[in-house]
Structure 1
Amino acid sequence: MFCCAGADDDVAASESKGAKFAKIEIKGWKVDPNPIGEGGFGAVHLCTEVKTGKRRACKAMRLPTAQDRDDFRHEVAVLKATGKHKNICHCIDVAEDARYGYLVMQSCTGGELFDRIAARNCSEKDAAMAIVDVLAALNHLHTKRIIHRDIKPENLLYKDKQPGSPLKLIDFGLAIQLQPGQRETEVCGTTSYMAPEVLRGSYSFECDIWSLGVICFFMLSGKLPFPGRSDEEKEARILRGSFSFSEEQWNSNLR
């Protein structure tokens, strides 16, 4: 369900000294005031649906400017267009007040794909299962003419810690929905995973597939294919298509 409540009745947020979110009130939800994660956007809290007792995650996003509010509403619109898919962390409810926007999302407790790669805890089977999950999510998005534009391990969460747990795609802050035949020109995303056509300023859905290829390389080798000391160096390597396979590196990383 998508709803937008006013600050004076259904949604209110108040801050106190020493706490970023002293109280969050969203109609129909009981929100834990202690965040389980924080970032430049705001914070993530656990929440419970009053009617059913189901546990979810509430992403509280700061909206200090009119542009931030427009960006939040754009993300909501894209999430609504996305619909439900087993490999996408879908939005259950949304609200905003004078200072914050709130997204109530599915709760994924299995951790980021990035953490498993960093711990070198990925087998070829794990990589294959992950690629299948992300391809399924991207196929769903692309049939709806949506490009995610920030496919990376940090935006892929395991549903839970059980063996074989599916991956779910999160964070649609950069996602856009294209018109038929449209090519996007805005250069955005995370440099290490950006496709060359994004850097050149003319791209479409294929940029997400490139990013997934980078993730596959990362999972199997433990290294990114286009490293660099700066974004400029990484971009130059990407545009040249300059990468190498080290047999020793790949054999030592896989378990």
Structure 2
Amino acid sequence: MAQVCVAVSLERIAKDSEVFSTASPATSVETLTTALEENYKVKKVLGQGKFGRVQEVVRKGTKKRFAVKVVASSKQSEDEVQLLASLRHGNIVCLHDSLEQDEMLYIIMELCSGGTLKSWIEDRQDEHLNVQVYTAPPKRVFANCMWQILDALKYLHGRGFVHRDIKLENLLLLKAGPCPQLKLADFGMATEFQKGELMTQRCGSPGYMAPEVLRGGYTELCDLWSMGVVFYQMATGRRLWLFTRTHEQHYDQVLAETPLTLKSNAHWSRLGPGALEMAQDLLSLECSRPTAACAIENDWLRKYVLGGDDRCCSIS
């Protein structure tokens, strides 16, 4: 899966009421339309999917670099632009501009040059005696990453929107380095929600979708489950669920194995007391799952984010 450093999972496969997101490898540089070429010069293709592509561009005159998402113009893509334009948060990717021509929409956003959180985690894998060994980030770095994502979700939910596609590929690093500043990206599945009303569309990425999403009745807390999956993968370097042949087999697996009970091991021990419990809370059934505003007050999280002067990440 390509590491696309922009606010988008490029390919969506819709089947009945289900929506998935995946990304495909980039192939070659394509020419932008005249409208965009007036102000931008294309540098390279960052990702290519069934329904769109992402390219790195440079603004003529200022030489500033951006990422442009090129998709067919639709109500969904126009809604994504409107939502991005309304969001102002240090851990949410920033919209710069948008253009429309010949039924195509060009969404111009800040470029995150550090890759995805998925690639960052993969870089921490090493081979020892033909066995893959994962080294989790230091406690403070780990906690800062979790804090940034939760703060973005707290802000988003507070404005009445749910993301619905939280995953490692949609968490971008502004720059490469050992202490990431993260940006939440790809709001193509985001939607407005009303307190007390359930959403019903099965929406998200397999492996990250909450059990209540699979059942067809959920709230904004589905984002916190997905956050729990991210937490687990960042702590252990492993997928929460084993591979299955089909999406339906995976859904059956999730429904059969929840509620989950996480087991302590060396990975969790290295993160200190409280880390496993926080992951367990995020991966609990919806009725017991914390909100983003509650989760960000977790004692383990606050201990390593706020406890001391050696914080290395920007979390504003």
Q: What TM-score, normalized to structure 2?
A: 0.66
Per the alignment, residue 129 of structure 1 pairs with 144
Contact 1:46 1:56 in 2 (8 A): yes
Q: Does 1:188 align with 2:198?
A: no
3-state DSSP of counterpart to 1:95: strand
Q: Does 1:91 align with 2:106?
A: no
User: Matched residues in 1 for 2:243 and 2:231: separation?
Assistant: 19
3-state DSSP of counterpart to 2:228: helix
Cα deviation, residue 180, structure 1: 4.1
Q: Which one of the candidate residues 47, 71, 96 is aligned to 1:37?
A: 47
CA deviation digits over 1:12-47, x for unaligned, max 9? xxxxxx977323332763131632332233222222
User: Matched residues in 1 for 2:81 and 2:136: separation?
Assistant: 33
Distance 1:53 1:249, change over 3 A: closer
User: Matched residues in 1 for 2:79 and 2:123: separation?
Assistant: 35
Cα deviation, residue 90, structure 1: 1.6
* Larger RCO: 1 or 2 (CA < 8 Å, sep 6+): 2
Cα deviation, residue 136, structure 1: 0.8
3-state DSSP of counterpart to 2:203: coil
Per the alignment, residue 21 of structure 2 pairs with none
Per the alignment, residue 63 of structure 2 pairs with 53
Per the alignment, residue 172 of structure 1 pairs with 187
User: Matched residues in 1 for 2:29 and 2:178: separation?
Assistant: 36
Give structure 1 stretches of 5+ with no counterpart: 1-17
3-state DSSP of counterpart to 2:96: strand
Contact 1:28 1:51 in 2 (8 A): no
Distance 1:226 1:54, change over 3 A: same
3-state DSSP of counterpart to 2:108: strand
Q: Which one of the candidate residues 26, 31, 52 is aligned to 2:36?
A: 26
User: Matched residues in 2 for 1:160 and 1:57: separation?
Assistant: 14
Q: Which amino acid aligns with 1:102?
A: Y
Contact 2:43 2:58 in 1 (8 A): no
Q: Which one of the candidate residues 256, 263, 278 is aligned to 1:245?
A: 263
Q: Does 1:233 align with 2:233?
A: no
Q: Which one of the candidate residues 154, 165, 171 is aligned to 1:150?
A: 165
Moved more, 22-31 or 195-204: 22-31
Q: Which one of the candidate residues 75, 84, 91 is aligned to 2:80?
A: 75
User: Matched residues in 2 for 1:232 and 1:186: separation?
Assistant: 16
Q: Which one of the candidate residues 221, 224, 227 is aligned to 1:206?
A: 221
Contact 1:116 1:122 in 2 (8 A): no
Q: RMSD in angstroms over aligned alpha carbons?
A: 2.6
Q: Which amino acid aligns with 2:51?
A: F
Equivalent residues, number: 231
Cα deviation, residue 243, structure 1: 5.5
Q: Which amino acid aligns with 2:212?
A: E
User: Matched residues in 2 for 1:253 and 1:132: separation?
Assistant: 15
Contact 2:149 2:182 in 1 (8 A): yes
CA deviation digits over 1:118-172, x for unaligned, max 9? 2336413332121111001101100111100000000001000134231001111
Distance 1:208 1:169, change over 3 A: same
User: Matched residues in 1 for 2:59 and 2:93: separation?
Assistant: 17
User: Matched residues in 1 for 2:248 and 2:118: separation?
Assistant: 23
Q: Percent identity?
A: 33
Per the alignment, residue 237 of structure 2 pairs with 222
Cα deviation, residue 113, structure 1: 0.3
Q: Which amino acid aligns with 1:113?
A: L
Q: Which amino acid aligns with 2:102?
A: A
